[in-house]
Amino acid sequence: MNNLNNKLLFVLFLFASSLLLLTNSSAAQNLSESLTSFNQQRIDLNTKGMYTLSGWAISNIAISSIGYFRSGGSTKYLHQMNVGWNLVNLAIAGGAFYQYSQVDPTSFTLAQSMAEAKSIENILLLNMGLNVGYMATGGFLWERGLRKSNNRFIGYGQSLLIQGGFLLLFDSTLYLLNQSNNEQLQSIIETISIQGTQLSISVPL
C-alpha cells in the first residue's frame, strides 16, 4: 500500500513539474513575442520618420538648387543655406536607415527595450531644444541683416527659421508618437511580478 502511495505521489510530482515547466515556457515565449512586437513597431515608426526627413531634405535640395541660380539678393542666400542644411539632414537620415537595418527586434531584453525607448525620447527632447535655438539664431541673423543691410544674414536667418521650424514640428511629432508607442512597455511590465525569489509572468487568456 505504501509503495502504491509513493508511486502515485511520484507520478503527481512529475505531472506538476511538467505542467510548471510548460507554463513557464509559455509565459517566457509570450513575453518575448510582446517585446519583439514592441521593438519592431519602434523601428518601423522611426524608419517612417526618417522617410519624412529624407523627403523634406530632397525637396529642399532640389528646389533650392534651382532657386539659387535663378534668384539674387537675400533669397539667393536663403536657397544656399537650405541646400547646405538639408545635405546634413539627408546624411542623418541615411545613417539612421543603416542603423535600423542592422537591428534585430528579437534581440532586445526588457531592460534593453526600456533603455532604447528612453534614449530615443531623450534624443528627440534634446533636438527640440536645439531647434528652438536654431530659430532664435535665425531671428537674430534676420534682424541683424535688416539693420546692416546684409543680404547674407537676411537669407541665412530666414532659412534657419524655416528649417528650425520644420525640425521642431518633426521632432515634436516623432516624440509624441514614440511616447505613445512606449506605453506598450508599461503593459508588458504589468504582466511581470516578483515575489521573494520567485518571478512570475501572467499570460493574458
pLDDT of residue 191: 66
73 phi-psi bin (left φ>0, alpha ψ -120 to 50, beta other):
left
Ramachandran angles phi, psi of 194, nearest 5°: -120, 125
Q: Contact at 8 Å (CB) between 108 and 120?
A: no
- Largest distance between two CA atoms of the chain: 108
The answer to whether residue 32 is domain-embedded is no
The answer to whether residue 204 is domain-embedded is no
The answer to whether residue 89 is domain-embedded is yes
The answer to whether residue 117 is domain-embedded is yes
Asked if the model's pLDDT at residue 13 lies above 70, the reply is no
Which cell numbers in the block locate residue 50? 526618417
Asked if the model's pLDDT at residue 133 lies above 90, the reply is yes
- Span of 12-26, 36-50, 122-136, 140-154 with lowest mean pLDDT: 12-26
The answer to whether residue 193 is domain-embedded is no
154: Cβ contacts below 8 Å, ≥ 6 apart: 74, 77, 141, 142, 145, 146
The answer to whether residue 123 is domain-embedded is yes
What domain range includes position 182? 38-188
Q: What is the pLDDT of residues 51-86, one digit of tens each?
A: 999 999 999 999 999 999 999 999 999 999 999 999
Residue 33, exposed/middle/buried by CB under 10 A (0-12, 13-18, 19+)?
exposed
Q: What is the pLDDT of residues 143-183, one digit of tens each?
A: 999 999 999 999 999 999 999 999 999 999 999 999 999 88
The answer to whether residue 165 is domain-embedded is yes
Letter for the amino acid at 193? S
Predicted confidence band of residue 111 (pLDDT cuts 50, 70, 90): confident
- pTM (two decimals): 0.80
The answer to whether residue 96 is domain-embedded is yes
Please count the structural domains in the chain: 1
What kind and span of H or E run contains 92?
helix 73-101
